Amino acid sequence: MIELSAAQAIAAIDAGELDGSELFAFYRERAVEHGGELERGGLNCFTWTSPQVPDTPAGPLAGVPLAVKDLFCTQGVPSQSGSRILQDYKPPYTATAVTRLREAGAGLLAKTNQDEFAMGSSTENSAFGPTLNPWDRTRVPGGSSGGSAAAVAAGLAPWALGTDTGGSIRQPAAMCGIVGLKPTYGSVSRFGMIAFASSLDQAGPLTRDVTDAALMLRHLVGRDPCDATSLQFPHEIELPSAERLDGVRLGVPTELSRSGGEAAMEPGVRACFEHALELAQELGASVQEVQLPHAPHALSAYYVLAPAEASSNLARFDGVRYGLRADDPRDLLDMYTRTRHDGFGAEVKRRIMLGTYALSSGYYDAYYGRAQRVRTKIAQDFAAAFESVDLILTPTAPGVAFALGEKTSDPWSMYLSDYFTVPMSLAGIPAISIPCGLSEESDDPSPPAPHGGGLPVGVQIAGPAFSENRLLDAAYALERAIGFDGAPARV
């Protein structure tokens, strides 16, 4: 069963060769055995696993188990967004994205570990401890959807739901050797997603292959009356079928490929990326250089805008409405202060301070206003580039999975992990990461991965808003040509 993708498992169930409940029980057992706490030898990728095997629900997804990032509200099931302030919080309703997948027949297998409120690139900012990378347990799985990525890579869930604000689906997918898709902003409802930065947050699939990503996306998209920023996707999401890339014009942005700018791309990443470009050309695509002149400023703009929105969104965690409340407060202010002091981790506090500062009177225009203008420039850069190319290719992350603890004391070096993914988030456009090989030479001096090979590298493909079908087709053709084998990561 482990070798089946979600789409293959559904086909086997439909053909009567596999029983949906059996599949769920198989994954549940694996999830409990290998996905739990570090002390029990697990990857710590799950914060909750289903206590029972549900009746196989009707619908096109045929009961295939689904792992869901902790920050999606799931009725009666802990939804803690990786934070102590929401410890054991069980919401009274379920996020639309999860409801849609369940109505299509997916079964809720587990909730996955994440950086607190999705702030981070390594899953080390979780109040529930870090998740380990199944390729090498001394390394991070990336983040913030690291639990979802590790679970899929390790074969503890056939597929998983994550969210991406500045790279949190794509970057962990790259570091775990799986596929991650951030859809066009607004195409998937944010209702019931515990908010980080509302103008950037977007739900999407983390899967073994491109077909599964398309299949999940098909059931996720659509306007939701509960989310005013959600949109009707203009067409049906097709399952990809392209074998060639003839006539496809691929753009490689100078600013996001050659050097990786400040992010300093590792040689092993560069080699895999160059190889992917060669394969794309062999498949018939043309490759040309394009310019995104404002992309080098994306990270600076993002780290004003995202914390500004976060500081506002996180004001609701006051000890009154849900989650943690300080014991024996002297008065109301003392209760607020101590609840937030005890409930939030260091990174969240850092972002609240950055965000409130950027929004404060006298500084608002200098920081927030200017960052918004940079955001507009970046969107315009992409629009101009898409006049001469169909899709844009970059490495997903400048480096392979780094060692646990390596970047925790240096926030900026952690932030640089998202150098290649943040521009697309600011522009609201879709982007997918697919594995493009193993890096044989990491710059990292620590010992090589225990399975003897290198560590996974991802290539990112981005397109204009609502170009998901084209994006998935190109990713599919490239995926077949690359022939990446994710099996060594499975436990």
Q: Which residues bind ligand GLN (CB under 6 A)?
A: 118-121, 144, 164-168, 196, 306, 418
- CB-CB neighbours of 118 under 10 Å: 29
Minimal distance in Å, beta carbon 293 to ligand GLN?
A: 23
Chain position whose Cβ is nearest to ligand GLN: 168
Strands 286-290 and 455-462: unpaired
Burial 146-185 (b: 16+ CB within 10 A, else e): bbbbbbbbbbbbbbbbbbbbbbbbbbbbbbbbbbbbbbbb
Minimal distance in Å, beta carbon 144 to ligand GLN?
A: 4
Told to judge if 360 belongs to the known catalytic residues of this protein, a careful annotator would answer: no
In this complex, which beta carbon is closest to ligand GLN, that of residue 355 or of residue 486? 355
Give the ranges where 221-359 is alpha helix by DSSP (H). 267-282, 298-313, 332-343, 346-359
Catalytic residue selected from 121, 144, 145, 148: 144
Catalytic residue selected from 50, 69, 189, 425: 69
Q: What is the Cα–Cα distance from 155 to 30, expressed in whole angstroms? A: 8
Judged by DSSP in three states, 155 sits in: coil
Radius of gyration of the chain (CA): 21
Q: What is the Cα–Cα distance from 423 to 302, expressed in whole angstroms? A: 9
Minimal distance in Å, beta carbon 306 to ligand GLN?
A: 5
Q: What is the Cα–Cα distance from 213 to 200, expressed in whole angstroms? A: 20
Q: What is the Cα–Cα distance from 81 to 96, expressed in whole angstroms? A: 16
Q: What is the Cα–Cα distance from 204 to 225, expressed in whole angstroms? A: 19
Q: What ranges make up the beta strands (E) of 418-475?
A: 431-439, 455-462
Are 180 and 433 in contact, with CB atoms under 8 Å apart? Answer: yes
Catalytic residue selected from 121, 126, 168, 417: 168
In this complex, which beta carbon is closest to ligand GLN, that of residue 50 or of residue 163? 163
Minimal distance in Å, beta carbon 319 to ligand GLN?
A: 25
In this complex, which beta carbon is closest to ligand GLN, that of residue 293 or of residue 411? 411
In this complex, which beta carbon is closest to ligand GLN, that of residue 197 or of residue 250? 197
Judged by DSSP in three states, 392 sits in: strand
Judged by DSSP in three states, 8 sits in: helix
Minimal distance in Å, beta carbon 155 to ligand GLN?
A: 25
In this complex, which beta carbon is closest to ligand GLN, that of residue 71 or of residue 216? 71
Q: What is the Cα–Cα distance from 456 to 263, expressed in whole angstroms? A: 18
Judged by DSSP in three states, 9 sits in: helix
In this complex, which beta carbon is closest to ligand GLN, that of residue 121 or of residue 439? 121
Are 446 and 404 in contact, with CB atoms under 8 Å apart? Answer: no
- CB-CB neighbours of 121 under 10 Å: 29
Residue 117 DSSP label: G
Told to judge if 349 belongs to the known catalytic residues of this protein, a careful annotator would answer: no
Cα–Cα nearest to 475, from 172, 242, 235:
242
| CA 275-280-282 angle, 5° bins | 95
Told to judge if 144 belongs to the known catalytic residues of this protein, a careful annotator would answer: yes
In this complex, which beta carbon is closest to ligand GLN, that of residue 220 or of residue 248? 220
Residue 383 is inside which H or E element, if any?
helix 370-385
Minimal distance in Å, beta carbon 120 to ligand GLN?
A: 5
Minimal distance in Å, beta carbon 424 to ligand GLN?
A: 11
In this complex, which beta carbon is closest to ligand GLN, that of residue 23 or of residue 98? 98
Among all residues, which ones are annotated catalytic?
A: 69, 144, 168
